[in-house]
Amino acid sequence: MKIAVINSGSSSIKFQLFHMPQGEVLAQVLVEKIGESSSQTILKFGEHKIIGNYVIKNHHDGLENIISMLKEHQIFEDFTALDAIGHRVVHGGEEFKNSTLIDERVIKTIQELIPLAPLHNPANLEGILVAIKKAPFVKQIAIFDTAFHSHMPQEAYLYALPYEMYEKHKIRRYGFHGTSHAFVLKEAAIILQKNVGELNLITLHLGNGASACAIENGISIDTSMGFTPLEGLIMGSRSGDIDPAIIFYMQRALGLSVDEVDSMLNKKSGLLGICAKNDVRTIIEVDDEKSKLALDMMVRRIKKYIGAYMALLGRVDAIVFTGGIGENSSYIRDAVLENGFTHGIKILVIKTNEELEIANECFSILKK
């Protein structure tokens, strides 16, 4: 069975072709800088890496280009060779608790959720619409970043705001990185030789964006990202948790606009805001005062979330580190675990694979 996974961003398309259920990657294509003169397509298969420098005007061109490169290198003939296309969709709101076959209604709902994810859902939707046009007879499946967290109890997902903010305006914690937390949960179950449904874990996805998740009996019961991916841990360029009144102060006393504050908190804060760098590798190497401070702050925040989730869960079978930083940086892992407060809990480092998780989801939907 051949399943393609599409992660369509505002200026990029990441495409992977899987042979399922083995999970073997047959090809990977990255289309970058869509709409710019420097756009390019990079195809990788086996040991090969081929760069196509066609100008990609839009997502339609991008997908067209992917197909022609795959054809040219005899990886597949056309989309009819596929059993399904799995699409990453960032926001599934309260509507989607599971991955789902895409039909008119699903498209309409993803569209209606755009106000909740104005940067991501339009690009995800664009990828879906183009794929349907190119491959109308292939099953298209949506996999949502929020779905894994959709079973959190109300006391976890509600903010202590007037209740109508939730009821009327859907303001609540949704959580993100769900495919990654779900993937490492299943991998942890294999490593620990337990059923997913009996595992209590704290999973830490530490990449450029970062989130922690408390998993009880295989279900996400709390997570650090909230209404948007801004809440929680200190990230590459996002502040994570701050006193919300700082935002009023910035507007009233410093005269910043809503957009300026939004951009500051999302793009100029976090590690970048403290030490002017957001790549943890560089920050560790540089080792000046501000870099050390930025890392100490990030580590402290992670510790606080682990402590909180240990209290919520009672029993924790393992703490899982994943994402670029979690997988690669023993400096950060050691700093987080320093002082032995997790004594007796297993520590796992698991490489995440969100694309494979999406392919697995597609496979299980096709099997039904």
Contact positions vs ligand ADP (CB under 6 A): 207-209, 236, 279-281, 323-325, 328-329
- Do 32 and 9 meet the contact criterion of CB atoms below 8 Å apart? no
Alpha carbons 209 and 226: distance in angstroms, whole number? 13
- Do 205 and 211 meet the contact criterion of CB atoms below 8 Å apart? yes
Which of 173/177 has CB closer to ligand ADP? 177
Which of 201/280 has CB closer to ligand ADP? 280
CA distances from 125 to 17, 41, 60, 122 (A): 20, 21, 12, 5
Smallest gap, in angstroms, from Cβ of residue 323 to ligand ADP? Answer: 4
Q: Is 61 an active-site residue?
A: no
* 1 Cα distance to chain centroid: 26
Smallest gap, in angstroms, from Cβ of residue 352 to ligand ADP? Answer: 7
The residue annotated as part of the active site, out of 61, 145, 222, 317, is 145
In what side-by-side order are the strands of the sheet with 48-52? Answer: 48-52, 40-45, 24-32, 13-19, 2-8, 84-89, 139-144, 100-101
Smallest gap, in angstroms, from Cβ of residue 291 to ligand ADP? Answer: 12
* 53 Cα distance to chain centroid: 28
Q: How many CB atoms lie within 10 A of CB 222?
A: 23
Alpha carbons 144 and 177: distance in angstroms, whole number? 9
Give phi and psi for 78, each to the nearest 5.
Answer: -165, -175
Which of 178/323 has CB closer to ligand ADP? 323
Which of 73/277 has CB closer to ligand ADP? 277
Smallest gap, in angstroms, from Cβ of residue 329 to ligand ADP? Answer: 3
Alpha carbons 364 and 209: distance in angstroms, whole number? 28
Smallest gap, in angstroms, from Cβ of residue 339 to ligand ADP? Answer: 21
Which of 8/140 has CB closer to ligand ADP? 8
Give burial (CB, 10 Å; 0-12/13-18/19+) of 306.
buried
Residue nearest to ligand ADP (CB): 324
Which residues belong to the active site? 145
